[in-house]
Structure 1
């Protein structure tokens, strides 16, 4: 005779509270098994280490995992990381925050035409996906239905965590699933957030040359808000060395291709907290898309989807009836420590080594997820890219250092706005040879662009990747846009404005992180206002053959403050000389933009007031790269026909007017400008 239902329920509750392997209450004691150490004394955490015994205990409101190096508590069924005990720290996360505001996933979304909604992704069910003495994977799932709270994004979301024996960290990823027939929605952001203890983690590291002690959230709260949201002038910081500095989380943005490891360091005891991203395949909009990393809080992020430095053009839009499924991650949350003799300086170097190790073993073979294919289930593509431009060389040139990638099928260049699929990119070598490895099965287009040349390449045939395939495309030739010989050029076609004149910041609006870092000096606040200081009487006039773009071309064409919160459009002039003009011929102006923010760029030839303009882009851009300290946003390329009657022998002037002028943050950044003569016969 089966036991009564209440007995079954009691047994189930008891089982839930029993330690699955060996139990332990949260924060009862620090892990006692030390990690192995490398030559520098920094604790090492190879994923297959046998250090420690993997322990799991669960109750009705949390699950706790102890692997011998760290002790992690996760809320049940929400799936938020509420505590991480490590290296003598009872919790590296901010205990002053609520449990659901320490380590969490969130989504920013909206119904079309409605206000955006900030959705903290809390699971509604919890289960152990797989379990052994070496590894445990747990799931926190939330299923949407029409009756679900309308603040929840219409997606089924399964958050996963993987813990491995002796591994000084944990892996996390999420499966987003949208069945056919669900409502129209737009998603602008998907990310992970970890908020650390401010009294311990005060040193931030983003790269070899971008790291320092940081101000605090309290310093920001007493500071002076500046013209653009998120930017604060520190007026009364606890550490007076930060007084008079500007802090803005967007100053710490990094391109996806370089955003592999970042985080924070605690001095006492020496410990580091790092976000490691071994692959960009699940991030949107390609390798040069910029995004947030770590910033004052202290906060560490993993950004998967965002509209930063691009605008709504890269936000995901789902139409009614559109089914979709994607895995974001896994990413690795890594903690390391150092001996007192080595101190905290060794922690960044160890975090980099760990990152390289994670990249080497990608894709991971230990996830319990059918939607995450291992290496054997993936394929590769190889080839060699050349560039043919007969006005530069009669012979094909190597596509040296070309960006070559696979992304969803679409027009040439569409990869920079693609947001729902997976992308796989590599850099060709100096001979244009490339290999794209570890590609998920599916249908793709192959795209490329070559620094030093304008435009985008697209291979003319779709590429289907199957498990285990190795596709050799042989020799590919890219013919960049070209109509005639170069008469003159301004800038370098590299999709950024970095080569142009970037002014020194105002002494009262500096961030010392970039004081001596010249390659990132564009990250300083308020540079757009320097234009009016430098060009008080008239707008920029650039004379070809006399001026040089590195010192005479302002990096951004911005609006001019006219007082009383009004702004004026600005007009850059390019003055050049033609010995003669070929009648009844067509010249071409190649105009490449590195960024555009709510702009309308109008082009006129030898007539500053002609209406309509000889050419206009119309309203373009929402990338906000000027205000958010980026040297580029999305790339725009225009080939403008110039009939010979618009030019004349002698001195000519091109007028570039950015006509939209409602705020100080509107404007464009130029990548490259070239005037081409008529085709040679």
Structure 2
């Protein structure tokens, strides 16, 4: 019994470690905290040693071939051998399958970032073996309280291997802004988990793997309801009887409610407060107000025009089909994640080979006319250049003595430098510059959002004119195909009232 538990714990430690070998966790000593017929809890300890091997000392027999991340994203997967025979593309994680074992997969791109999830949506995922008997192997995260970045932080889940991950702290889709940094002699500790590994089996799942997936979802709901677990014996783990409870109601005091029907924008003013049914509420320590990402204030003045939906993603904008040389990455029932395709960034240069995007407020439709990311344009074989987008709008009147506001919300940024010009692109100094920002790499990782950025840019009325005005959004960095920004939402506000 003890030997079996030792092997299982070693296997789980390998599985929950990040796929990069240097992140593997190898215990140099361990202590049995509790062991009985129902439960075994082990404490592994290791002091960092630069000379220690990076490879987990395990032999693993891998037979899982059907992967499930969500109701929509589930499919038969290629193998490590298929990847090794394929063609590496723009970065090492992306491989074109040129001669896979399953011929249906030929021409597809395998890329672990296809299977990333927002942490709020990543409570259960895993693999199914379709051999006899069918077996499901599931990672269940009953809580996100020990993960960094909040509910919209994206993390890896599963990928070819078969590999199952549970990621607690990472800079994926965020960059160094979310890296945990320590000062000299700084003391710090954090309890991670526990996570739940669930195995299930059902003979009928050979024909219908979703049987095991549906059962795993039911078990996930049970584990969420059981959180926080009571069995963990670490003195640092906070059990339910040590936690407080907060109750109350949250209302949105801003009574401006927007509805968009195709390109027609209607607005009404609610006479009552609006229930914030889709809000997230978090508790923080006393002190200066903050949030789980970067929070800012409400609008400064009445909305004159807006582009997009303020949901912290770029999902509502135009997402092209992938380049024709790559097969569309499909899932169960031929469903597909529109933005989780390889090479979408290359399509900007196809649609805008010479002139950049121009958006006319009032006639353009952001779901068709606003490309999902402001990326670079390829010049020649290996050179790239930044791009300059135009937003053209009309003002019936201008108060030259007042300040207007451009609310510029970015869903992601990677190695970008975004300049804002008002009615004069040629002026030497931009009206506003973000400076060098972002390390999310969300463009390459099919992320549709990364770390959120919000800028409230004051614009003097004397810079505007009655009639036609133009705001230039200039992304000046141009060293690679992955530099750029994804917009979440842009709003132009009138003077403060």
Q: Are 2:4 and 1:64 equivalent residues in the alignment? A: yes
* TM-superposition CA deviations, 1:226-265 (whole Å, max 9, x none): 1123001111111111000011001100000010111111
Contact 1:559 1:567 in 2 (8 A): yes
Q: Are 2:475 and 1:575 equivalent residues in the alignment? A: no
3-state secondary structure, aligned to 2:347: helix
Alignment partner, residue 480 of structure 2: 663
Match of 1:150 among 32, 50, 60: 50
Shift of 1:639: 0.9
| 1:613–1:195 CA distance, 2 compared to 1 (3 A) | farther
Contact 2:114 2:445 in 1 (8 A): yes
Shift of 1:510: 3.4
| 1:390–1:258 CA distance, 2 compared to 1 (3 A) | closer
Q: Structure 2-normalised TM-score?
A: 0.90
Shift of 1:514: 5.6
Aligned-partner Cα distance in 2 for 1:341–1:150:
46
Aligned-partner Cα distance in 2 for 1:333–1:304:
15
Q: Which structure is larger by alpha-carbon Rg, 1 or 2?
A: 1
Match of 1:320 among 184, 200, 203: 184
Match of 2:293 among 416, 432, 445: 416
Contact 2:398 2:466 in 1 (8 A): yes
3-state secondary structure, aligned to 1:573: strand
Q: Are 2:219 and 1:354 equivalent residues in the alignment? A: yes
Alignment partner, residue 380 of structure 1: 245
Contact 1:559 1:570 in 2 (8 A): yes
Single out whichever of 508-517 and 275-284 deviates more from structure 2.
508-517
The structure richer in strand per residue is 1
Contact 2:15 2:164 in 1 (8 A): no
Match of 1:262 among 125, 128, 131: 125
Shift of 1:324: 1.2
Which residues of 2 match residues 166-315 of structure 1 at below 5 A? 197-198=61-62, 200-269=63-132, 270-315=134-179
Which residues of 2 match residues 15-54 of structure 1 at below 5 A? none
Alignment partner, residue 180 of structure 1: none
| 1:503–1:328 CA distance, 2 compared to 1 (3 A) | same
Match of 1:120 among 24, 43, 52: 24
Alignment partner, residue 166 of structure 1: none
Aligned-partner Cα distance in 2 for 1:193–1:357:
34
Aligned-partner Cα distance in 2 for 1:679–1:509:
50
Alignment partner, residue 399 of structure 1: 276
| 1:247–1:133 CA distance, 2 compared to 1 (3 A) | closer
Contact 2:418 2:473 in 1 (8 A): yes
3-state secondary structure, aligned to 2:281: strand
Q: Unmatched 5+ residue regions in structure 1?
A: 1-55, 58-62, 66-71, 83-99, 109-116, 154-191, 418-454, 457-479
Aligned-partner Cα distance in 2 for 1:201–1:504:
30
Shift of 1:293: 0.4
* TM-superposition CA deviations, 1:559-598 (whole Å, max 9, x none): 0001141111101100111112112121111111111101
Higher relative contact order (CA 8 A, sep 6+): 2
Aligned-partner Cα distance in 2 for 1:244–1:106:
28
Contact 1:541 1:573 in 2 (8 A): yes
Alignment partner, residue 608 of structure 1: 425
Q: Structure 1-normalised TM-score?
A: 0.67
Q: Unmatched 5+ residue regions in structure 2?
A: 257-268
Contact 2:329 2:336 in 1 (8 A): no
Contact 1:196 1:298 in 2 (8 A): no
Aligned-partner Cα distance in 1 for 2:121–2:328:
21
Q: Are 2:233 and 1:368 equivalent residues in the alignment? A: yes
Shift of 1:399: 2.3
Alignment partner, residue 42 of structure 2: 138
| 1:210–1:555 CA distance, 2 compared to 1 (3 A) | same
Aligned-partner Cα distance in 1 for 2:437–2:180:
19
Contact 2:345 2:373 in 1 (8 A): yes
Contact 2:130 2:206 in 1 (8 A): no
Alignment partner, residue 352 of structure 2: 535
3-state secondary structure, aligned to 1:610: coil
* TM-superposition CA deviations, 1:269-316 (whole Å, max 9, x none): 211111111111111111110010011111111111111000111111
Aligned-partner Cα distance in 1 for 2:124–2:440:
24
Alignment partner, residue 436 of structure 2: 619
Aligned-partner Cα distance in 1 for 2:483–2:310:
22
Shift of 1:535: 1.1
Shift of 1:498: 0.5
| 1:521–1:494 CA distance, 2 compared to 1 (3 A) | same
Aligned-partner Cα distance in 2 for 1:517–1:653:
42
Contact 1:275 1:300 in 2 (8 A): yes
Match of 2:254 among 389, 394, 401: 389
| 1:394–1:411 CA distance, 2 compared to 1 (3 A) | farther
Aligned-partner Cα distance in 1 for 2:76–2:472:
46
